[in-house]
Amino acid sequence: MWIFEYYDLIRILTISDLKVKYQSSILGFLWSLLNPFLMLMVLYVVFSGMYDVSEESFIVYLFIGITSWRFFSNGTTTSVRSIVSKSNLVTKIFIPRKILVFSGVVSSFISSLLEFFILFLLLIVFRVSFTLNMLYFPFVTLIYFGIVFGAGLALGALYVFYRDLDQIWEVVISIGFFLSPIIYPVTLIPDRLLPIYMLNPVTVVMQMYREILLYGTAPSLPLFGYGTIAAVILLIAGSSIFGSLEWRFAEEI
């Protein structure tokens, strides 16, 4: 499999992505921690009085939503330009071009891991009970990685031909933030709209993270099953779109 065959190249590209992301920043890697905290403070001040939950629970609820959403947002946004931004690797040497998208998603995932580390510290500070159900965390995260990578493959390939896609995707990300249960509970969604609302795989992942981290329960089987199916479908669809367009990358860049 190309992931193992090109491990060293993936590592180099991932490190390069991280360096480019933070090279001109005074705080550097600390922005991965400061950014979600600033979002947390703003959203908490604005929305804390709207729901009948304890202060501690709402802070953790918010941070789980923010952290999980940022991985999807950063991972897919990075993927959009992953092929075009490394045009020299596309036109001059032969490598599986999926590596370019994969390394971008991995660099976003590393940043998200730091945010999840802070999340676990928050769980300790607010005395959230640690249970064995937290062992589901890596499995849910693997599903989420598949969702982001699958979407990233399609976005990276399409951007080579449609350069307006990055602007369109920024709008989609902005809308998606409010269509996902980051600042409000799913229970606010009317029953008649809930089946449609839960088709969003990011919503499903957020709910599973909250089940295992905040509520101490195992992820519900329907959510886990749908999340897995969504990841597989997105990986297949993304790979199909990528594969059908890959042979034209060099001439379009």
Residue 15 in domain: no
Domain-located, residue 94: yes
- What is the pTM assigned to this prediction? 0.92
In tens digits, the chain (253 residues) has pLDDT values of: 666 778 888 999 998 888 777 665 555 566 667 778 888 888 888 887 676 655 558 889 999 999 999 999 999 999 999 999 888 888 777 788 999 999 999 999 998 988 898 889 889 988 888 999 999 999 999 999 999 999 999 999 999 999 999 999 999 999 999 999 998 889 889 999 999 999 999 999 999 999 999 999 999 999 999 999 999 999 999 999 999 999 888 887 7
Contact, 134 vs 61, CB < 8 A?
no
Residues of the domain holding 193: 46-252
Spatial separation of the C-alpha atoms in residues 175 and 103, rounded to whole Å: 26
Q: How many domains does the chain have?
A: 1
Q: Is residue 19 part of a domain?
A: no
Alpha-carbon separation of residue 197 from 34, 112, 178, 186, 203 (angstroms): 30, 25, 12, 9, 8
Structural domain includes residue 10: no
Structural domain includes residue 21: no
Report if residue 1 sits inside a domain: no
229 part of a folded domain: yes
Note whether residue 167 is domain-resident. Answer: yes
